[in-house]
Chains A and B, each alone.
Chain A
Amino acid sequence: MSGCTRILAPVVATLLVACSPEGADPLPEPQTVTSQAGGFQARWQPSVDPLPLNDSFDATLWLSTGANGLPIEGARISVDCRMPAHRHGMLQEVEVSDEGQGRYRVLGLLCHMPGHWVLQVDLTRGAVTERAQFDLVIE
Chain B
Amino acid sequence: MKLSQGIAGLVVVAASVLLLVDRTEPMNPALARLSPLPPTPLDPTNRWADDARAVRLGHWLFFDPRLSLDASVSCATCHDPALAFTDGKPLAETLGVGIRKTPTILNTVHSRWLFWDGRADSLWAQATEPIENPLEMGMDRLALAHRVLAETDLREAYEVLFGPLPELHRSERFPAHARPIPNDPGHSHAVAWAGMNEQDRESVNRFYANLGKALAAYERQLVRADAPLDRYVAAMAAGDTEGGGHLSASAKRGLELFLGRGNCTTCHSGPTLSDLEFHNNQVPTADGRPPTDPGRFEGARLVKANPFNGAGAYSDDNQGPAAARVRRLKTDSMGWGEFKTPSLRNLAGRAPYFHAGQMADLESVLHFYSTLEGASGQSHHQENVLRPLHLSAEETADLLGFLLSLEGRPLDPFWNSAPPQPSLDRRP
Contact = CB atoms under 8 A, between A and B. Distances in A.
Contacts of A93: 328-330
Given A92-B325, A93-B328, A112 B275 contact: yes
Nearest to A80: B330
Nearest to A14: B15
A4 B19 CA distance: 12
A29 interface: no
Interface residues of B, number: 29
A83 to B, nearest CB: 8
A77 interface: no
A61 interface: no
Interface in A63-119: 85-95, 107-108, 112-115
B329 A114 contact: no
Interface string B9-27: 0011001100100000000
Nearest to A8: B12
B267 interface: yes
Given A86-B385, A87-B383, A113 B267 contact: yes
A10 B334 contact: no
B364 interface: no
A91 B276 contact: no
Contact of B328 (A10, A53, A108): A108
Contacts of A10: 15, 19
B269 A92 contact: no
B29 interface: yes
Given A7-B16, A93-B328, A88 B383 contact: yes
A94 B327 CA distance: 10
Given A53-B269, A87-B383, A87-B384, A114 B330 contact: no
Nearest to B13: A7
B12 A7 contact: yes
B381 interface: yes
B329 A91 contact: yes
Nearest to A90: B330
B324 interface: yes
Contacts of B15: 7-8, 10-11
B329 A92 contact: yes
Given A86-B384, A89-B334, A94 B30 contact: no
Contacts of A85: 384
A114 B12 contact: no
Nearest to B385: A86
A34 B48 CA distance: 51
Contacts of B12: 4, 7-8, 11
A69 B265 CA distance: 43
B267 A92 contact: no
Contacts of A11: 11-12, 15
Nearest to A108: B328
Contact of B269 (A54, A88, A91): A54
A85 B270 CA distance: 21
Given A54-B269, A93-B329, 14 more contacts: A4-B12, A7-B19, A85-B384, A88-B382, A88-B383, A89-B334, A91-B277, A91-B278, A91-B329, A92-B330, A112-B275, A112-B276, A114-B269, A139-B29
26 contacts: A7-B15, A7-B16, A11-B11, A11-B12, A53-B270, A54-B277, A86-B383, A86-B384, A86-B385, A87-B383, A88-B334, A88-B382, A88-B383, A89-B334, A90-B330, A91-B277, A91-B278, A92-B325, A92-B328, A92-B330, A93-B328, A95-B328, A113-B266, A113-B269, A114-B269, A139-B29
